[in-house]
Structure 1
Amino acid sequence: MTNLNDFQKLIAIANEHGITCHAAPEECLIASLPGEDDFLLAFTWSGAVQGETAEHGLIAISVQDITKEITVAAWQIPTYLFSNVLRQAQMLVTAHKDFMLDKNNT
């Protein structure tokens, strides 16, 4: 996070989309994935889109499987696409759970 304003903006974006976050020491936000108690979302400010104004910043997102202590997915999106983040995270968690189930059944 480059400054407090960016961090506050990230909190506002998350809150605007119904994601209740908590600040972590690594200057990122941590949130539970709704309906998936064993998974966490982490958000941090990642920078700016090349050739665009600072308003078009990138947010880095990762989904963590707490019980297996692994990262399920990580990606970056521009701020204007943040509204899709919960749906994307839930789809990735579903795919991860299906993969782990198939892996354990073989």
Structure 2
Amino acid sequence: MTNFNGFQKLIAIANEYGIICYATPEECLVASLPGYDDFLLAFSWSGAFEGEPPEHELIAISIQDITKEVTVAAWQIPTYLFGNVLRQAQMLVTAHQDFVLRTNNP
């Protein structure tokens, strides 16, 4: 995301949904995942299809497990679905934790 206005728009969208985020030098936003202190939520603009309305611009999202140093999930969504990000991220982290627990305790 090289467009400063686009970056500000992404910050505004995150703030609108209560995600307190921080900008990184890589031009993405990072936030702690509410309820999961060991997980980071990162997102940035992924792109847009030419001729599509602005609400169809895509946001790339990933969840990082800080303690295990792995990416739990990564996906893309159009901006109009951003309100579901926290719920989706929390469900994916819960599934990841269940998987790790079952793998370590067969």
Q: Identify whether the pair has TM-score above 0.5, normalized to the shorter chain.
A: yes
Query: Residues of 1 paired with 2:27 and 2:10: CA distance?
Result: 11
**What amino acid does structure 1 have at the position aligned with 2:60?**
A
Alignment TM-score, normalising by the size of structure 2: 0.96
Contact 2:72 2:92 in 1 (8 A): yes
**For structure 2, which runs of at least 5 residues remain unmatched after alignment?**
none
4+ aligned runs moved over 4 Å, structure 1: none
**SS at 2:90 equivalent:** helix
Amino acid at match of 2:29: L
Q: 1-side partners of 2:31 and 2:92: how far apart?
A: 16
Identity of aligned residues (%): 79
Listed as ranges, the gaps of 5+ residues in structure 1 are none
User: Alpha-carbon deviations, 1:4-35, whole Å to 9, x = none?
Assistant: 01000000000000000000111000000001
Q: Report whether the alignment pairs 1:39 with 2:39.
A: yes
Could you tell me the TM-score, scaled by structure 1's length? Answer: 0.96
Query: Residue 4 of structure 1 aligns with which residue?
Result: 4
**Corresponding pairs, count:** 106
Shift of 1:97: 0.1
2:50 and 2:77 mapped to 1: Cα distance? 13
Q: Is the 8 A contact 1:33 1:39 kept in 2?
A: yes
Alignment of 1:64-75 (within 5 A): 64-75=64-75
